[in-house]
Structure 1
Amino acid sequence: MAFITSLVFALALPALPAHAQQHAPTKAKTMKIRLTIGEKVLTATLRDNATTRDFVSLLPLTLTLEDYAATEKISDLPRRLSTKGAPPGTDASAGDITYYAPWGNLALFHRDFGHSSGLVTLGKLDGGVEALREPGPLKARIELVK
Structure 2
Amino acid sequence: MNHSVQHKVKITIQGKIVTATLDNSKTSKDFISLLPLQLILEDYAKTEKISNLPKKLTTEDAPIGSKPLVGDIALYAPWGNLAIFYKDFHYANGLIVFGKIDTGIEIFKVPASMKAIFELLE
1:1-146 to structure 2, matched below 5 A, reads 28-146=4-122
Change (3 A) 1:112 1:34: same
1:65–1:140 contact (8 Å) kept in structure 2: yes
AA partner of residue 134 (structure 1): V
1:95–1:129 contact (8 Å) kept in structure 2: yes
What is the TM-score of this pair, normalised by structure 2? 0.96
Gaps of 5+ in 1: 1-25
Q: Which structure has greater helix proportion?
A: 1
Structure 1 stretches of 4+ moved >2 Å: none
User: What percent of counterpart residues are identical?
Assistant: 50
Q: Which structure has greater strand proportion?
A: 2
Change (3 A) 1:113 1:29: same
CA root-mean-square deviation: 1.1
Q: Give secondary structure in 1 for the equivalent of 2:103.
A: coil
The structure with the larger Rg is 1
2:19–2:104 contact (8 Å) kept in structure 1: no
Gaps of 5+ in 2: none
Q: Give secondary structure in 1 for the equivalent of 2:27.
A: helix
Greater RCO, 1 or 2 (C-alpha within 8 Å, sep 6+): 2
